[in-house]
Chain A
Amino acid sequence: MSWIVQQLWLVPALPFLAAGVLALTPRRHRRSAAGLAIGALTASLVLAGGAFAATLGQAGPDGFRAVVNFTWLETGAHAVRLGWVLDPLGAAMLVMVSFVGLLIFIYSVGYMAHDDNFTRFFCFLSLFAGAMLGVVIANSLLLLFICWELVGLASYLLIGFWFQKPEAAAAAKKAFITTRVGDLGLFVGMIWLYSAADTLVFYENGQGCLEQGMVTRLVATTAVAGMTLSTAISLLVLLGAMGKSGQFPLHVWLPDAMEGPTPVSALIHAATMVAAGVFLVARMFPLFAAQPDGATGESPALQAVTWLGAFTAVFAALIAVAQTDIKRILAYSTVSQLGYMFLGLGTGGVAVGMFHLLTHAFFKALLFLGAGSVIHGCHEEQDIRRLGGLRRTMPVTFATYAVGMMALAGVPLLFSGFWSKDEILHAAQGWKPSPWPFYLGVLGAGLTAFYMTRQMIFVFFGPNRTCARTHAAALTPHESPPVMTVPLAFLAICAVVLGFFGTPAWPWLQTYLEARPADLTAFDVSRLFAVGVLGLMVLSTAVVAAGLALGWWLYGRRPITDPAATDALELAQPGLFRLLHGKFHVDELYEATVVRWHAAWATLGELLDRWLWGGVVLLVHGLALGLAWTSRLLDEYVVNGGFDTACRRLVRGGRHMAGLATGKPQSYLRGLAAATAALALLLLWGGCR
């Protein structure tokens, strides 16, 4: 086994170490803090690159896979084993996470330049990077879960980074609690898996819980309601993935998470952490896909994944259409794209979902960082109605943002999003159980093109509406410094180039991830013109073009000059717009059901606490007080009284006795004389007798 596999733990350990050191660094060491965080992640990136290179050669029958396992905890006959694994899936994620992370770290140096808590920010970022890399290399569901929760913690800390803002604090809380609902499912699934398989290690020479023998065993067992055990566990794990990846109905936290600093939104809530749910499903794919012998079609768990993804993709895209906050539009777009990834996983397998995950990570990070650049340049203005005309004042941001927008919208041929989304649609088209996920996917693609066009027009075209609102000319937008624009340029290049690794003509990434036969790897343009592929490409191009055209027709024909003007869509469909603008009122629904139910229980608990337990406590309190009073009275009047009386008598006696001691010798002499006389009389009397 090569050196890189043995030392793979260093990849997450270095950022962890940096986070630990940064936690102890005083605030004034801003430059060294940023340097340390960036240096540690650069080292991780180099190691990740080495690991990636190692996975390219010497493929086994299932592709390259190397594991290092060790016993972590031993109790009686049971031993909990942890370990790490290096395989194409993990290696691709490692490179993506550390590369995107590094660019965002560098960008943050510029974006957070004026923040007082610069070192704290880099400490949290490093913690996050370490945890995320840990999720990727984990070869045990337990280790994955530990890092998974650390990722959640880092996300919580970073959303609430500006905790002085009440909205940020509330958003952090909401994110933490909502994901916790999903994590509970993952936790239960993990325990169930451990009790059934007696191991949580994924791969271990045929003993791991994802390997053939164990999966066969899990499939053979029936859990509840005719579900096989593997399905039940998969669905619970999927619950965790839903929470983390913001899938309906646990998506509500992700848009609110945009209260955090923009680099955080880019790194965590767009590119990497939210993809952890998709990665988890991809990692546990053998379990999800497991079917009993003789069963045909798709496994129930994968069907659930597919429907969930298809529904969320359209649902979130619809909401994104009517939002006005630049980051919230991107957030709903992220939810929608994550839905696509699930759709891809469910219909096409690991490679399809992961391809979109990787391309999306780059162009969504690009879009978020672009949005951050806009916000930075326009003095914290996030409402797209009050932006506008930035095409002229922020040319670099505009150019890179346009690349990201076209990649997300799926503009054909040149942009990575087109290829990865096409791959998903292609897989969905071939899905046996139902054609609907495919239709939903196509609809979502059109919507994506539409809302991104709307955002572009609002932000970058037309006159600048910032000045209309603000008074000073000093607040005109300005281009961001190079430390922010250079990462944008890098990401823009990646957003274009990455698509070429997964085109139907050269499906290198799919081959790499799924260890397909080598003859598929060769470059072959003719595959582009296969009937299904070409037809789908034409269809998706048409849908995207329709979306773009509709967006332009509604918003681009006349320049928008008034920030308060009614939205063009609202003019056409006021009811629909209100529903979408209100995010389908999911938040309100939760407010009215879950939150109120919760509040009712809390009130009940409070009443119980106040009256029942409070009463008991009061009773005990009264009893104790009564006892204390009795004891005090006894003490005061019986014990003290007796004692005092005795003392008083003693004192009085003493005083009497003291009266005898007059201090005058003659009174003593008098006593002496009287005594002598008495003695004499006694003797005389005795003598007479």
Chain B
Amino acid sequence: MTPLERYLVVAALLFGVGLAGALTRRNAILVLAGIELMLTAANLNVVAFWRHGGHGDATAGVMFVLFIIAVAAAETAVGLALIISIYRHRRTTHLDEVDTLKG
């Protein structure tokens, strides 16, 4: 069985990629994609800890992950809808140009 550390490293890398994407991309859709990646890293961690924990026969970890995926999907749908709405108003999805909340 693959040791836990590898899962964690992969998850950490995945999280790092996601974070870098979310922080560096200007396009809102790509930021959203970065966020999804970070979420996936977290899911991976959850599954890995469940698999290496003491209760391998219980399905709680898998169920958690499934729920998270479903909720994340819904969340992404809301996020995309917002982005479309912003695009319709401002003809752009560049986050630098959407700064009406600037103090």
Could you tell me which A residues sit within 8 Å of B by CB distance? 657-666, 669-670, 673
Contacts and interface: CB of A to CB of B under 8 A. Distances in A.
A659 B23 contact: no
Interface in B46-96: 95-96
Contacts of B95: 664-666
A206 B35 CA distance: 125
B103 A661 contact: yes
Interface of B: 19, 22-23, 31, 95-96, 98-103
A676 to B, nearest CB: 9
B57 to A, nearest CB: 30
B102 A665 contact: no
Contact of B103 (A658, A665, A666, A670): A658
A661 B102 contact: yes
A658 to B, nearest CB: 3
Nearest to B96: A664
A666 B31 contact: yes
A432 to B, nearest CB: 119
A315 to B, nearest CB: 104
A402 to B, nearest CB: 112
A658 B103 CA distance: 4
Contacts of B98: 663-664
A666 B24 CA distance: 8
Nearest to B35: A669
A669 B35 CA distance: 10
Contacts of A658: 102-103
A657 B103 CA distance: 8
A669 B23 CA distance: 7
B102 A662 contact: yes
Nearest to A673: B19
Contact of B101 (A659, A663, A670, A673): A663
A527 to B, nearest CB: 126
Nearest to B25: A666
Contacts of B23: 666, 669-670, 673
Nearest to B97: A664
B22 A669 contact: yes
Given A662-B102, A669-B22, 4 more contacts: A663-B101, A663-B102, A666-B22, A673-B19
Contacts of A666: 22-23, 31, 95
Nearest to A657: B103
A654 to B, nearest CB: 8
A528 to B, nearest CB: 127
B22 A661 contact: no
A661 B102 CA distance: 5
Nearest to B22: A669
A340 to B, nearest CB: 108
Contacts of B96: 664
B19 A665 contact: no
Contact of A661 (B19, B31, B101): B101
22 contacts: A658-B102, A658-B103, A659-B103, A660-B103, A661-B101, A661-B102, A662-B99, A662-B102, A662-B103, A663-B99, A663-B100, A663-B102, A663-B103, A664-B95, A664-B96, A664-B102, A666-B22, A666-B31, A669-B23, A669-B31, A673-B19, A673-B23
A660 B98 CA distance: 16
A-B complex: 7 closest residue pairs judged by Cβ atoms? A658-B103, A663-B102, A663-B99, A661-B103, A663-B101, A664-B99, A662-B102
B31 A665 contact: yes
A548 to B, nearest CB: 118
Contacts of A669: 22-23, 31
Give the most central of A660, A664, A670, A673: most B CB within 10 Å: A664
B36 to A, nearest CB: 14
B89 to A, nearest CB: 15
A657 B19 CA distance: 26
A669 B98 CA distance: 15
Give the most central of A665, A666, A673: most B CB within 10 Å: A666
A658 B19 CA distance: 25
A663 B102 CA distance: 4
B99 to A, nearest CB: 3
A674 to B, nearest CB: 10
A105 B29 CA distance: 111
Contacts of A665: 31, 95
A669 B31 CA distance: 10
Contacts of A673: 19, 23
A228 B22 CA distance: 125
A468 B59 CA distance: 145
A664 B98 CA distance: 7
A628 B23 CA distance: 62
